Structure 1
Amino acid sequence: MSEKYIHSVAINLQRCRGCIHCIRHCPTEAMRVRNGKSLIIPYRCIDCGECIRVCPYHAPFGFTHTLDSIAYLDNIVVIISPEFYSQFSTKYSVGDIQEAVRKVTNAKEVWDTTYAIYLLENALLDYVNSSHNLPLISTYCPAIIELIQVRFPTLIPNLSPFKSPIEIMGQIIREYWSKNYSNEKLNLVYITPCPALASYLKENKEEGVDFVIGIDNIYLRVKKELQENKSEILKLFYPKGILCGTLGGESQIFNEEEAISVGGIEKVVKVLEDLERNKIQEIKFLELRACEEGCVGGVLNPENYYLAKKRMHSIYKNLDKEKIENTNLLKDIAEVHISKIVRMSPISPRPIWKLDEDINKALKKMDEMKKILQILPGLDCGSCGAPTCASLAEDIVRGNAQVYDCIFLLKEKLWEMAKEMEELSRRSSSVILKRREEENEDQ
């Protein structure tokens, strides 16, 4: 594998105990345990954060920028996603939270992604009503995009052709900045709820952001800075878009029988398997999220996601929607044409099963894998450090493991060696006894 991948999940080896929680829950078999420590296979990892969620020793972690890494910058504009608001008590308004973020980051302006969600809603409705390639799969969650690239490449044509809200918002802000501050360099910062978004934005910088900070890296500072002033919302804001931080928020524009909303990577995998088998019909839109309850369940969010979901709906309910719609700022932003929110580069499959660049060598390795699988027990216990016997066989032909990493084969081998040692010991004893008898007879 010569491809380079950017990831935002790393392993703290000092904390890792070599347990197999991570390899059991990884949806793409990207985790291994070797020499008593976990490691990540880059070309398989989709940064969903399940390893972070399930590890009892907190060894995996999300690797993003910190406040210190942007402290030296000027002309900072911060973008926050809707679920960020749910991390704080509802006694604070949306404007209060934006103002606290502005102070903590020393930003000139603070935006969120709700306006981009407004644009996406209209585009999705038009596309679904005119497309025959249904159901359309949301590209809101980058972990889902990568999951489909790795495990379900036949479903790539079903993915939405539109950019994510953060990409759209980044493009809008850059255009706005170039109009109003053409002589000053913009530093765009996004506060993310998950490592998948961080990795996605690092890989797609053309219209994206310059720095990505995890919510966990800024949460306490913002909480300390918060004041209950009922501050005005700082920038363009679409009230309904705030619900996209929770599961079901994106599909609310469709009728109930037209859309399905599913959260949690294991549940999503089952839905995608059913879709591949043509078991899901008469559905126009699939809102799929790697995290339970949607982005409020992101692994970089400090707050409990059920509590965050309640807060999100409470915030929306208490917004003065009419006042917001009448006083929205930045009316000078030109209408965003549909072409600006369409994804320019196609989404391609990720070839995780490419065993060798040479097709003949790859076929030979596949034959080796089949032979190895025939001698492996097929229990998929994970004790070898690989999630399944098939993945161990793959690791062996790639040169990253050996057959006796399987404890069952190792046990059989040790048993055979013990029997051989016993037989050798018996023969040696009989020879020694015979020689002693011969020596006694000579005397």
Structure 2
Amino acid sequence: MSERYIHSVAINLQRCRGCIHCIRHCPTEAMRVRNGKSLIIPYRCIDCGECIRVCPYHAPFGFTHTLDSIAYLENVVVIISPEFYSQFPTKYSIGDIQEAVRKATSAKEVWDTTYAIYLLESALLDYVNSSPNLPLISTYCPAIIELIQVRFPTLIPNLAPFKSPVEIMSQIIREHWQKDHPGEGLNLVYITPCPALASYLKEIKEDTVEFIIGIDNIYLKVKKELQEANLGVQKLFYPKGILTGTLGGEAQIFNEEEAISVGGIDKILRVLEDLERNKIQDVKFLELRACEEGCVGGVLNPESYYLAKKRIYSIYKALNKGKIENSDLLKDLSEMHISRIVRTSPISPRPVWKLDEDISKALKKMDEMKRILEILPGLDCGSCGSPTCASLAEDIVRGNAQIYDCIFLLKEKLWEMAKEMEELSRRSSSVILKRRSEDNEGQ
């Protein structure tokens, strides 16, 4: 593979015990165990964080920036997502949490993505009514986009063509910064609940954020600032947008029978398989989130997603039931043309199945894979370090494994060798006894 991928999931090899939890739960078969340690196949990984979630030894981790990495920066502006508010008790207001983030990061300003969500709501409604490819699949979760690129490329036309809320907010913030601070530079920092968002922002070409910090890397610092009771003033905020931090929040703009909300990789795989087989009818919108209960379940969130979800709804009920303030900023947003929130680069399939650039060599390798699969037991046990027998056959063809990594074939081979050794030993003993007998007769 010649493509380069920037990922935000890494493996701490000192913690890794070589168990197979990660390879059995990875939705794209990106994990392997070789020489007693886990490794990630870059062109397959979608940074969903399932390996982080299931590893009992905490070997996989989200690789993001830290507070120390932005300590030297000037003109820092921080962007947070709605689920960030759910990590703290509801006794703290939106303004309190924003002020605590500002102090923890020494930022000039703190914004959230609810304004971008306000824009996306009307754009989604308009696009659904004109799109020939229904149901429309949300592009809110980058892990879902990559999952479709890797495993369901035929569904790419169903993906919504809009930028993520973070990209849209980055654009808005930069424009307002230039109005208020002409000629001054700006450093945008995003606090992310998951590695998928971090990887997505690193890979896109557009000018968005320069630094991405995991919520787990800033949580304790913000919590400390909150406990010191430095009350903040709430910035302009779209209350209804906070619901997108949990499952069902994005689909709320549609009628109940028009939209389906699904969270969790295992469930999403079944939904996408049904969609590919044309089993999902009369549905306009699919809100899919890689994490259970949506972004509140992000693997970089310290709090339980059950508690975080309850907090999200509690905050929303206290915020004027979804009304937005009449402000100059709202006027600017309302006049923002929809073309500015549409993706500038198309979403393309990820060629994970390409065995060779040369088509004739690739066909030979496919034939070799078939022959190897006929030899393998077909148990998909994962003991070889590959998730399935098919993936082991692929690894063998690519030169990354060997046939006797399969413990069942190895056991058979060792049994045959043991029988051969036993037969050789029996024959050797017969020859020795015969020679001794001949020697005795000669004496």
- TM class by shorter chain equals over 0.9
Q: Which residue of 1 aligns with 2:147?
A: 147
| SS of the residue 2:129 aligns to | helix
- Stretches of structure 1 lacking an aligned partner (at least 5 in a row): none
Q: Which residue of 1 aligns with 2:185?
A: 185
The residue that corresponds to 2:349 in the other structure is 349
Give the Cα–Cα distance (whole angstroms) in 2 for the partners of residues 135 and 297 of structure 1. Answer: 25
After superposing the two structures, state which structure 1 stretch, 327-336 or 282-291, moved more.
327-336
Distance in 1 between residues matched to 2:122 and 2:19, nearest whole Å: 47
SS of the equivalent of 1:362 reads helix
Asked whether the 8 Å contact 2:8–2:196 carries over to 1, the reply is yes
Does the 8 Å contact 2:46/2:146 carry over to 1?
yes
Deviation at residue 180 of structure 1 after TM alignment = 2.1
User: What do residues 344-390 of structure 1 show as CA deviations (whole Å, max 9, x unaligned)?
Assistant: 10000000000000000000000000000000000000000000000
CA distance in 1, matches of 2:128, 2:323: 31
* Equivalent-residue separation in structure 2 for 1:309 and 1:366 (angstroms): 47
Distance 1:76 1:261 in 2: 35
Task: Give TM-score, length-normalised by structure 2.
Answer: 0.98
1:88 Cα deviation (Å)? 0.1
Equivalent pair of 2:9/2:61 in contact (CA under 8 Å) = yes
Q: 1:322 to 1:339 in 2, by over 3 A?
A: closer
Measure how far apart 1:334 and its partner are.
7.6
Name 1:339's counterpart in structure 2: 339
Pair 1:72 & 2:62 matched: no
Counterparts of 1:87-106 in structure 2, within 5 Å, are 87-106=87-106
Match of 1:194 in 2: 194
Number of the residue aligned with 2:33: 33
Report the Cα distance in structure 2 between the residues aligned to 1:347 and 1:244, rounded to whole angstroms: 23
AA matched with 2:9: V
Q: Aligned equivalents of 1:174 and 1:357: distance in 2?
A: 42
Task: Report 1:422-437 matches (<5 A).
Answer: 422-437=422-437
Q: Distance in 2 between matches of 1:331 and 1:258?
A: 30
- The 5 A counterparts of 1:367-386 are 367-386=367-386
For residue 232 of structure 2, what is the aligned residue in structure 1? 231
Determine the C-alpha separation between the residues in 2 that align with 1:373 and 1:193.
Answer: 40
Q: Residue in 1 aligned with 2:166?
A: 166
User: What count of residue pairs does the alignment treat as equivalent?
Assistant: 442
| Matching residue of 1:401 | 401
Letter in structure 1 aligned against 2:24: R
- 2:114 corresponds to 1:114: yes
- Cα 1:231–1:363 shift into 2, 3 Å: same
Q: Distance in 2 between matches of 1:325 and 1:334?
A: 13
Residue type of the alignment partner of 2:176:
Y
Kindly state the Cα deviation for residue 207 of structure 1 after the two structures are TM-superposed: 2.9
Check the 8 A contact 1:176/1:333 in 2, yes or no. Answer: no
CA distance in 1, matches of 2:31, 2:232: 46
| Preserved contact between residue 6 and residue 199 of structure 1 (Cα < 8 Å) | yes
| Partner SS state of residue 39, structure 1 | strand
1:272-291 paired onto structure 2 within 5 Å: 272-291=272-291
Rounded to whole Å, the distance in 2 between the matches of 1:305 and 1:166 is 21
CA distance in structure 1 between the aligned counterparts of 2:354 and 2:201, rounded to whole angstroms: 26
Give the C-alpha shift of residue 326 in structure 1: 4.0
Check conservation: 2:99, 2:231, Cα contact below 8 A: no
Contact conserved, 2:52 with 2:299, CA < 8 A, in 1? yes
Distance 2:365 2:231 in 1: 65
- Equivalent residues of 2:86, 2:312 under 8 A apart: yes
Structure 2 match to 1:126: 126
Cα pair distance change 1:17/1:363, threshold 3 Å: same
**Structure 1 match to 2:250:** 250
Distance 1:387 1:52 in 2: 17
Distance 1:320 1:394 in 2: 56
Q: Separation in 2 of the partners of 1:52 and 1:321?
A: 36
Deviation, 1:175, is 1.5
* Structure 2 unmatched ranges of 5 or more: none
Looking at structure 2, the residues matched to 103 and 352 of structure 1 have their Cα atoms a distance apart, in angstroms, of: 44
Q: Given the superposition, is the C-alpha separation of residues 187 and 330 from structure 1 closer, same or farther in structure 2, using an over 3 Å criterion? A: farther
Rounded to whole Å, the distance in 1 between the matches of 2:232 and 2:212 is 25
Structure 1 residues 153 and 42, CA gap change in structure 2 (3 angstroms): same
Which runs of structure 2 are paired with 1:15-26 in the superposition (5 Å)? 15-26=15-26
**SS across alignment from 1:130:** coil
Q: Structure 1 residues 332 and 149 mapped into 2: Cα distance closer, same or farther (>3 Å)?
A: closer
Q: Following TM superposition, by how much is the alpha carbon of 1:322 offset from its aligned partner in structure 2, in angstroms?
A: 8.1
Q: Which residue of 2 aligns with 1:389?
A: 389
Distance (Å, rounded) in 1 between the aligned partners of 2:214 and 2:53: 15
1:130 is displaced (CA, Å) by 1.6
Asked whether the 8 Å contact 1:138–1:287 carries over to 2, the reply is: yes
Query: Corresponding residue for 2:207?
Result: 207
State the identity %.
86
Read off the aligned partner of 2:196 and give its amino acid letter.
A
Alignment partner, residue 49 of structure 1: 49
Amino acid at match of 2:30: A
Is the CA contact (8 Å cut-off) linking 2:384 and 2:405 kept in structure 1?
Answer: yes
Distance 2:81 2:45 in 1: 24
Structure 1 runs of 4+ off > 2 angstroms? Answer: 227-232, 320-324, 326-335
- Give yes or no for contact 1:237–1:328 (8 Å, CA) kept in 2: no
Q: Report the CA distance shift for 1:385/1:49 in structure 2 as closer, same or farther (over 3 A).
A: same
Q: Distance in 2 between matches of 1:177 and 1:332?
A: 14
The answer (yes or no) to whether the contact 2:240–2:323 under 8 Å persists in 1 is no
- Distance apart, 1:56 and its partner CA: 0.1
Rounded to whole Å, the distance in 2 between the matches of 1:387 and 1:243 is 36
Distance (Å, rounded) in 1 between the aligned partners of 2:169 and 2:320: 23
- Aligned pairs for 1:286-305 (under 5 A) are 286-305=286-305
Q: What's the C-alpha RMSD, in Å, of the aligned pairs?
A: 1.4
SS at structure 1 position matched to 2:74 = coil
Query: Which letter does structure 1 place at the counterpart of 2:282?
Result: E
User: 1:206 deviation in Å?
Assistant: 1.7
Q: Relative to structure 1, is the Cα distance of residues 153 and 431 closer, same or farther in structure 2, using a 3 angstrom cutoff? A: same
The structural deviation recorded for 1:3 is 0.5
Match of 2:218 in 1: 218
CA distance in 2, matches of 1:130, 1:431: 88
Q: What is the TM-score when the length of structure 1 is the normalising length?
A: 0.98
Deviation, 1:178, is 2.0
CA pair 312-334 structure 1, distance change in 2 beyond 3 A: closer
